[in-house]
A and B are shown apart, each in its own frame.
Chain A
């Protein structure tokens, strides 16, 4: 049997949609873990990245952090956390947030740093205070890169939340991990299909968000310069 026939027969089994751990519940769990971790990561990383980009202080630390971040094995980190702390909300939230921070931080920093100095001079010449330059010029101009950082971060958080099923977290990873350990490939295949759909849906949300918040003039400009 091919992958699709396994996935299809599992997905079309009514029982998988209606039990107390049915598909809708698992989807909401996955979105909840991802949303919460992303929110906390953004609350930490955005102000920090903007401050570093604006002042230029701490730039070296940010770049080194990004280098090491990619090398960290997420599965190992999650398992170490569960052994050290036992299973509590912090066990998964801390690694998810920690892995979500670097893309947001680096892109906020790069975005603010890359704002044309002439633009900032012009804004100051118009009588803007330092704060006004930041909020009305630097952040809007950097918004495109900042959103890209959030989107990249979302990719990693969705993926890590999937793997976190191995340490007992709910969400869609449960189907894959449980299916693998009980040799039920249909469940594995159906779970994987749902994970793919969820990951792409999250990306589509970010594309919509970008249309909503990035000033139209900047979107045009970015396209023209390609």
Chain B
């Protein structure tokens, strides 16, 4: 490790960190905005869910680099070439979580809201979505951490991120630079994860004092597994 390299390049490192943060954070946010209505629709119209789930498990299996390069003729080497595929990956994680979250609302809770005079929309906004927050946030954490880490692969097609430190370090045979890049990607991902946990705690004060659920289980949910035979094979 050549420590003096770090302060000498602080400006570059900071800029790359910012770029990586934007490339990593925009996709899960876009994903959340798309998956919320899509998930609600899948719960409302059950027939919609199996094809959506099959589509998600197919997209999820495609390596990110392949999706990036497919977009090059359309979006060039802009940020969109990285953001669009990462948004698709976020959707694959988020839609099942939105659906599971909404389905986890206990029937008596739903009935109580109806009995209090809540219409469908108000019940959704004030009762069902809040109860689903912990499950949705678990999905958002997975999507955000993966997305920040995958954004660095975009450097292979020339979209700037902390991945620049990997490629430049390889060309200059300079391990310090690569090491700094790896540490910063992981630090950025874990920082975003911690912020999301704090947001979840603020949004769900009734859960205070309960033990955290810990890491969400692996992204392909058993439902996705069960749906693939009909969809693909």
Question: At the interface, yes or no: A216 with Cβ under 8 Å from chain B?
Answer: no
C-alpha gap A176/B185 in the complex (Å): 24
Chain A residues with CB below 8 A from B217, complex form: 106-107, 110
If the complex has contacts A76-B185, A79-B178, A148-B222, are A155 and B163 also in contact, measured as CB distance less than 8 A? no
**Judging by beta carbons under 8 Å apart, are B218 and A73 in contact?**
no
**Judging by beta carbons under 8 Å apart, are B58 and A67 in contact?**
no
Chain A residues with CB below 8 A from B220, complex form: 148, 151-152, 155
Residues B175-233 near A (CB distance < 8 A): 175, 178-179, 181-182, 185-186, 189-190, 193, 214-215, 217-220, 222-223, 225-226, 228-229, 232-233
**Judging by beta carbons under 8 Å apart, are B66 and A200 in contact?**
no
Question: At the interface, yes or no: B118 with Cβ under 8 Å from chain A?
Answer: no
A61 CB to nearest B CB, Å: 12
**Judging by beta carbons under 8 Å apart, are B222 and A144 in contact?**
yes
If the complex has contacts A68-B186, A71-B145, are A162 and B225 also in contact, measured as CB distance less than 8 A? no
Chain B residues with CB below 8 A from A162, complex form: 63, 65-66
Pick the most buried of A64, A73, A196: most chain B CB atoms within 10 A of its CB: A73
A164 CB to nearest B CB, Å: 11
**Judging by beta carbons under 8 Å apart, are B64 and A76 in contact?**
no
C-alpha gap A196/B71 in the complex (Å): 14
C-alpha gap A83/B170 in the complex (Å): 7
- Within 8 Å by CB of A6, from B73, B165, B190, lies B73
If the complex has contacts A71-B190, A83-B170, are A200 and B61 also in contact, measured as CB distance less than 8 A? yes
- Within 8 Å by CB of A207, from B67, B163, B233, lies B233
**Judging by beta carbons under 8 Å apart, are B142 and A207 in contact?**
no
- Within 8 Å by CB of B166, from A67, A75, A177, A204, lies A75
- Within 8 Å by CB of B219, from A147, A152, A189, A195, lies A152
C-alpha gap A74/B149 in the complex (Å): 8
Question: At the interface, yes or no: A159 with Cβ under 8 Å from chain B?
Answer: yes
A181 CB to nearest B CB, Å: 10
C-alpha gap A161/B228 in the complex (Å): 24
**Judging by beta carbons under 8 Å apart, are A200 and B229 in contact?**
no
Residues B129-184 near A (CB distance < 8 A): 142, 145-146, 148-149, 152-153, 155-157, 162-163, 165-167, 169-170, 173-175, 178-179, 181-182
Chain A residues with CB below 8 A from B67, complex form: 192
**Judging by beta carbons under 8 Å apart, are B228 and A80 in contact?**
no
CB-based A-B contact count at 8 angstroms: 176
Question: At the interface, yes or no: A117 with Cβ under 8 Å from chain B?
Answer: no
Tell me what chain A mostly uses at the interface: helix, strand, loop, or mixed: helix
Residues B29-65 near A (CB distance < 8 A): 57-58, 60-65
Pick the most buried of B70, B175, B185: most chain A CB atoms within 10 A of its CB: B70
**Judging by beta carbons under 8 Å apart, are B69 and A76 in contact?**
no
- Within 8 Å by CB of A70, from B71, B149, B173, B181, lies B149
Question: At the interface, yes or no: A217 with Cβ under 8 Å from chain B?
Answer: no
If the complex has contacts A180-B69, A180-B156, A207-B228, are A72 and B186 also in contact, measured as CB distance less than 8 A? yes
Chain B residues with CB below 8 A from A71, complex form: 145, 148-149, 185-186, 189-190, 193
Chain B residues with CB below 8 A from A208, complex form: 233
C-alpha gap A177/B228 in the complex (Å): 31
Chain B residues with CB below 8 A from A185, complex form: 72-73
Given A148-B222, A202-B61, A203-B57, list of 19 further CB < 8 A pairs? A63-B214, A72-B149, A76-B178, A79-B167, A80-B175, A80-B179, A83-B169, A144-B222, A152-B220, A155-B60, A163-B153, A191-B66, A195-B62, A196-B62, A200-B61, A203-B228, A204-B233, A207-B229, A210-B225
Binding site for B on A (CB under 8 A): 1-3, 6, 63-64, 66-68, 70-77, 79-80, 82-84, 103, 106-107, 110, 144-145, 147-149, 151-152, 155, 158-159, 162-163, 166-167, 173, 176-177, 180, 185, 188-189, 191-192, 195-196, 199-200, 202-204, 207-208, 210-211, 222-223, 226
6 contacts between A and B (CB under 8 A): A71-B193, A83-B178, A145-B222, A191-B66, A191-B69, A226-B223
Binding site for A on B (CB under 8 A): 57-58, 60-67, 69-74, 142, 145-146, 148-149, 152-153, 155-157, 162-163, 165-167, 169-170, 173-175, 178-179, 181-182, 185-186, 189-190, 193, 214-215, 217-220, 222-223, 225-226, 228-229, 232-233
